[in-house]
Amino acid sequence: RKEVEQDPGPFNVPEGATVAFNCTYSNSASQSFFWYRQDCRKEPKLLMSVYSSGNEDGRFTAQLNRASQYISLLIRDSKLSDSATYLCAVTTGFQKLVFGTGTRLLVSP
Amino acid sequence: DAGVIQSPRHEVTEMGQEVTLRCKPISGHDYLFWYRQTMMRGLELLIYFNNNVPIDDSGMPEDRFSAKMPNASFSTLKIQPSEPRDSAVYFCASSMADGYNEQFFGPGTRLTVL
C-alpha cells in the first residue's frame, strides 16, 4: 500500500460547480498535512495546510479525519483557473513530506 | 525575493553521460530537498539536507546518484552514468526549520536521457 493515495482523476466539472478530493494516508503517526497545487509543467506550490479542526481559505476548505486517515479538499464555485493537479502531502518525519501522485481537475466553461 | 533557483532548466543527454543538476535554495532556509517526478511514480523524495548535512538519502535510487551541499547556498545532484529510465523532472525545494514544514519548490530541471 502506498503511503499516500489519491484518485488520479481527471475530475471534469463545469464552472461554478463544487468538487471534492480525498487523500488517504497510511502512517497514523503523521502530524502535518498539506494540499499543493501544480500547474502543467510547473512546480508544486502550497495551496493550504490542513488543520485538525478544518480550515477554510476563500472557496477552498480542507478537512482532516484522523480516525479514518484521510484529508479532503473542497473547492466551491470552481473557476477555469482552478484547473490543475492537486497534490496532498503528509509528514512522515520532521520536515519530510510524502506526496500523493495528484488529482487532476479540469474546469470547463 | 528570489525563490529556489535551479539549473539547467532542460537537459538532454545520451545514456552513459554524467549529468549534474544545480540548486540554490532560498536564503535563510535550513532544509534542502531533492525530488524526482514522473508520471508513473509521482513526486518522490530522493534526499534532503539540514544545515548542509545529508539527513535521509533512502530515496536515492542507486549508487549512480549522488548529492552534495558544500555550503548553505548551493547543492548538486549528480547522475553518473545516466540511463534512459532517469528521464524525469527533478525538483529542488527548501524550507525553514520553523516546524511549519512549508516547502518552496524550484522550477525544476527536465532531464531526458536518450
Q: What is the pLDDT of residue B99?
A: 60
- Show residues of chain A in contact with B45, CB under 8 Å: 96-98
pLDDT digits (tens, 9 = 90+) for A21-38: 999 999 888 888 999 999
Q: How far is B81 from chain A (nearest CA, A)?
A: 26
Residues of A in Cβ contact (< 8 Å) with B105: 43-45
Query: Residue B37 has which C-alpha cell?
Result: 517526478
Tens of pLDDT, residue by residue over A49-103, are 998 888 999 999 999 999 999 999 999 999 999 999 999 999 877 778 899 999 9
Quick one: closest CA in B to A6, which residue? Answer: B42
A47 touches chain B (CB under 8 A): no
**pLDDT tens profile B74-93:** 999 999 999 999 999 999 99
SS3 of A7-31: the string is CCCCEEEECCCCEEEEEEECCCCCC
Nearest-Cα residue of chain B relative to residue A2: B41
Work out the mean pLDDT of chain B and round it to a whole number: 93
> Is A43 in the B-facing interface, judged by CB distances under 8 Å?
yes
pLDDT at B98 over 80: no
- Answer whether A102 sits within 8 Å of B31, measured CB to CB: no
